Structure 1
Amino acid sequence: MKISVYETYDDMSRAAAELVAQQLAEKPASVVCFPSGDSPTGTLKYLVEWANEGKIDLSQCFFIGLDEWVGMDETDQGSCKYYLKTNFFDKLNTKLTNVTLFDAKAADLDAECERINNFISSKGGLDIMMVGIGMNGHLGLNEPGTPFDLYAHRSALDSVTVQVGQKYFDKETVLTEGITLGLRHLSEAGKAVLIASGEKKAGIIAESLQGTVSTEVPASILQKLPNAIVLLDKDAASQLEHAS
């Protein structure tokens, strides 16, 4: 696990975007997973800017969505599909053709997990799996107690996730279940990239990266991963010992 700390959120976002750009330069047909939420917005902004200026080529890349609230699609304002559509796909001058996202309205969600697993496997695995971190230490919707060896799976949502998740909606929304890539995907990815910013994340970052490795803190798996790259702004890193 390699930890890098940046002065500002923007600096961290640019560094994350540069990681993606470097990966695409080395392998144009890379398989890349992006999360939704507050953390990746700056990273996606840089990637859109560079793509529209012709500095990077996204046309051969395969994009995978990290997770989704069960029962929602791109028409739901707080959904992951809506986030990626409005912050990334719709802002690109060129339409992307290689996009694979969870269908969280599928009649058979277990079969949907298999579809995603099989697709990733058929491409030789994820080259970059980028994640944010929840206040309870979740990665994607791998909630506290989730085994480290799962691929894509359905997930009963933790009460913290349900509470925090309300911020993505303009009215109170019932959230009970998610569908998500698993922590085994993270372990097997070429690069497992965690991005986090803000003082509110400092406590869970310290617990995850320097505390006991346990399924009760899903992000603690990063301590075991030689492929893990952690990018933080100084506020998120403020409770870490010896962070640089």
Structure 2
Amino acid sequence: MQVKVFSDYDAMSKAVADMVAKQLAEKPDSLICFPSGDSPTGMLKHLVDAANNGDVDLSKCAFVGLDEWVGMDENDFGSCKYYLKHNLFDKLLTQPKEVTLFDAKAPDLEAECKRINKYIAAKGGLDMMIVGIGMNGHLGLNEPGTPFDLYAHPAELAPITIEVGQKYFKSETKLTGGITLGLRHLAESKIPVLIASGEKKAGIIAQSLEGEVCKDVPASILQTLQHAVILLDEPAASGLTKE
């Protein structure tokens, strides 16, 4: 894995957006996965600006969503679909060729996971998969204890995920479960990317990148991925001991 540290959040965000732009310049029909949450907001802003200025062409690429809260869709403030709609798709002058997101209201979530898995496989896998990291080391909604070899799957939410997840909603919201791409998708992605910012993430970043590789810390899988790229701002990297 390659770790890159930037002076601040905006510099890190610009670097991630530049990685996406480079990928699309080299392969315009790339399949890319974006997360939702606090970490990718700056990256999406830079990418939207670049696309609307004509510096990046999104018209031939395909996007697939990382995860979703069970029972929610784009009309639910705080949902992943709502986030991507308002921070990316609604702001683009030209839309991507394809957008495939989880239907977290589907009556059969296992079948929905199979649909997403089949879609990714038919595309030849993910060209780039960008993830943030939770305070417990989760990637997407792959919570502690999740096997590294799973593709998309329904997920039982850890208590801290339910607690921290409340920040995305206007009022206290019952979160009953999740649906997410799996850690195997990350491992098989041609370019797996982790982004993290802020001092509050320093501890889990250090544990994930320098601690034991185990399923109790899902993000520790990154230590096994030589092709992974980790982009951090200085506060998030402050707990690392290795150069």
- TM-score after normalising by structure 1: 0.99
Aligned partner of 1:116 in structure 2 is: 116
Aligned partner of 1:37 in structure 2 is: 37
- Aligned positions of 1:3-152 closer than 5 A: 3-152=3-152
Paired with 2:38 and 2:61, the residues of 1 have a C-alpha distance of 23
Q: Would the aligned equivalents of 2:39 and 2:196 in 1 still touch at CA under 8 Å?
A: yes
Give, in angstroms, the shift of residue 188 of structure 1: 0.2
Aligned partner of 2:198 in structure 1 is: 198
Give SS of 2:236's match. Answer: coil
Give SS of 2:242's match. Answer: coil
Paired with 1:105 and 1:71, the residues of 2 have a C-alpha distance of 5
Q: Would the aligned equivalents of 1:193 and 1:228 in 2 still touch at CA under 8 Å?
A: yes
Q: Would the aligned equivalents of 2:147 and 2:215 in 1 still touch at CA under 8 Å?
A: yes
Q: Would the aligned equivalents of 2:58 and 2:95 in 1 still touch at CA under 8 Å?
A: no
Paired with 1:231 and 1:61, the residues of 2 have a C-alpha distance of 23
1:60 is matched by which residue type in structure 2?
K
Give, in angstroms, the shift of residue 224 of structure 1: 0.3
Aligned residue pairs, count: 243
Give SS of 1:236's match. Answer: helix
Give, in angstroms, the shift of residue 94 of structure 1: 1.6
Give SS of 1:4's match. Answer: strand
Give, in angstroms, the shift of residue 171 of structure 1: 0.5
Q: Would the aligned equivalents of 2:70 and 2:177 in 1 still touch at CA under 8 Å?
A: yes
Q: Would the aligned equivalents of 1:189 and 1:227 in 2 still touch at CA under 8 Å?
A: no
Paired with 1:20 and 1:108, the residues of 2 have a C-alpha distance of 33
2:119 is matched by which residue type in structure 1?
F
Give, in angstroms, the shift of residue 110 of structure 1: 0.4
Aligned partner of 1:168 in structure 2 is: 168
Is 1:208 matched with 2:208?
yes
Q: Would the aligned equivalents of 1:66 and 1:180 in 2 still touch at CA under 8 Å?
A: yes
Q: Would the aligned equivalents of 2:58 and 2:97 in 1 still touch at CA under 8 Å?
A: no
Paired with 1:176 and 1:156, the residues of 2 have a C-alpha distance of 8
Paired with 2:150 and 2:61, the residues of 1 have a C-alpha distance of 25
Give SS of 1:195's match. Answer: strand
1:234 is matched by which residue type in structure 2?
E
Q: Would the aligned equivalents of 1:67 and 1:178 in 2 still touch at CA under 8 Å?
A: yes
Moved over 3 A (4+): none
- TM-score after normalising by structure 2: 0.99
Give, in angstroms, the shift of residue 96 of structure 1: 3.0
Paired with 1:46 and 1:16, the residues of 2 have a C-alpha distance of 9
Give, in angstroms, the shift of residue 176 of structure 1: 2.1
Paired with 2:164 and 2:23, the residues of 1 have a C-alpha distance of 32
Please, which runs of 5 or more residues in structure 1 have no aligned partner? none
Post-superposition Cα deviations, 1:71-116, rounded to whole Å, max 9, x if no partner, equal 0000110000000000000000123340000000001110000000
Paired with 1:119 and 1:128, the residues of 2 have a C-alpha distance of 15
Q: Would the aligned equivalents of 1:157 and 1:176 in 2 still touch at CA under 8 Å?
A: yes
Is 1:154 matched with 2:154?
yes
Give SS of 2:17's match. Answer: helix
